[in-house]
């Protein structure tokens, strides 16, 4: 029987950080509630909401050196308001009328964001990393209250050593200060940490910062065309274990 070569212990990562939204938690699981509230529009609402949410994080981070920063939960609500104005009601609707007509739906959808479905392999992967003695954490754009609500709802808290929010530095990913929080919290350099994301722009930003990266390509999409590739790519979270 032939044995596979064992990587030198110096190359073994000393921690794993996961993006939260889209990586551990399925952001498009809100589409089911959206479909119940607005038949025929659930998927479109989910997709536009997510796109606008990310657009807002970039806008407030890159404009006027972050002077317009707002927490992720606030931007998420504003992105949802924009989406419903575009897809459900009159785009020129005034704020008072919008609140009267859509306030209940907004609250239901925002509450659902605190109870996003975790991907099915999530618990098993985190349990195996814990059994291996590998420190784990979340490094996310989400503010801490929002993240902890999702973590607790998915029963992930006992499997995570850190839940890190970029709200601490008022800079969203892909800003270097956001990624730098991972080094600070784990106490080792980025080159000794695996960063896991299903968002290609996030995996790229982390790779540029210096992390070892694993891109979760669930939908078999092309990676960003900017000359840098993630260290490894797989269909779900399970292949992060290949680093160990």
Whether residue 1 lies inside any domain: the answer is no
Count of domains forming the chain: 2
Q: Dump pLDDT digits (tens) for 183-206.
A: 999 999 999 999 999 999 999 999
Cβ-based neighbours of 55, under 8 Å, separated by 6 or more: 79
Q: Dump pLDDT digits (tens) for 95-127.
A: 999 999 999 999 999 999 899 989 999 999 999
Domain with 51 in it: 27-113
Q: Dump pLDDT digits (tens) for 22-68.
A: 999 998 889 999 999 999 999 999 999 999 999 999 999 999 988 99
* Pair 103, 127 in one domain: no
Higher pLDDT, 6 or 203: 203
Q: Dump pLDDT digits (tens) for 152-183.
A: 999 999 999 999 999 999 999 999 999 999 99
Distance between CA atoms of 48 and 37, rounded to whole angstroms?
A: 16
> Taking all residues of the chain, what is their mean pLDDT, rounded to a whole number?
93
pLDDT of residue 181: 98
Whether residue 39 lies inside any domain: the answer is yes
pLDDT of residue 91: 84
Whether residue 123 lies inside any domain: the answer is yes
Q: Is 19 a catalytic residue?
A: yes
Q: 2 falls in which pLDDT band (50, 70, 90)?
A: very low
Beta strand residue intervals within the chain, DSSP E: 16-18, 25-26, 117-118, 136-140, 162-165, 194-197, 212-216, 232-234
- Catalytic residue (choose from 19, 143, 167, 202): 19
Whether residue 2 lies inside any domain: the answer is no
Higher pLDDT, 212 or 113: 212
Distance between CA atoms of 115 and 108, rounded to whole angstroms?
A: 11
Is pLDDT above 60 for 9?
A: no
* Pair 52, 167 in one domain: no
Whether residue 19 lies inside any domain: the answer is yes
Is pLDDT above 90 for 10?
A: no
pLDDT of residue 88: 94
Q: Is 228 helix (H, G, I), strand (E, B) or coil?
A: coil
* Pair 238, 157 in one domain: yes
pLDDT of residue 4: 39
* Pair 39, 97 in one domain: yes
pLDDT of residue 151: 96
Tell me the C-alpha to C-alpha distance, in Å, between residue 7 and each of 4, 24, 101, 210, 214: 9, 27, 60, 20, 18
């Amino acid at each position: 029987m032939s044995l596979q070569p064992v990587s030198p212990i110096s190359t073994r990562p000393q921690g794993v950080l996961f993006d939260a939204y889209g990586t551990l938690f399925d952001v498009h699981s809100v589409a089911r509630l959206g479909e119940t509230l607005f038949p025929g529009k659930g998927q479109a609402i989910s997709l536009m909401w997510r796109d606008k949410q990310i657009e807002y994080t970039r806008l407030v981070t890159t404009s006027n050196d972050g002077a317009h920063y707002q927490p992720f939960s606030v931007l998420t609500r504003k992105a949802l308001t924009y989406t419903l104005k575009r897809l459900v009601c009159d785009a020129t609707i005034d704020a008072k009328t919008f609140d009267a007509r859509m306030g209940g739906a907004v609250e239901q959808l925002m509450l659902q964001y605190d109870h996003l479905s975790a991907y099915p392999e999530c618990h098993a992967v985190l349990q195996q990393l814990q059994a291996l003695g590998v420190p784990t954490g979340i490094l996310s754009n989400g503010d801490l209250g929002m993240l902890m609500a999702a973590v607790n709802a998915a029963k992930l808290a006992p499997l995570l050593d850190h839940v890190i929010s970029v709200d601490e530095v008022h800079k969203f990913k892909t800003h270097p200060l956001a990624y730098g929080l991972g080094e600070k919290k784990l106490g080792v350099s980025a080159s000794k940490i695996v960063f896991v994301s299903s968002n290609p722009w996030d995996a790229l930003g982390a790779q540029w910062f210096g992390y070892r990266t694993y891109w979760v390509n669930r939908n078999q999409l092309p990676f960003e065309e900017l000359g840098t590739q993630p260290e490894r790519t797989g269909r779900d979270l399970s292949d992060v274990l290949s680093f160990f």
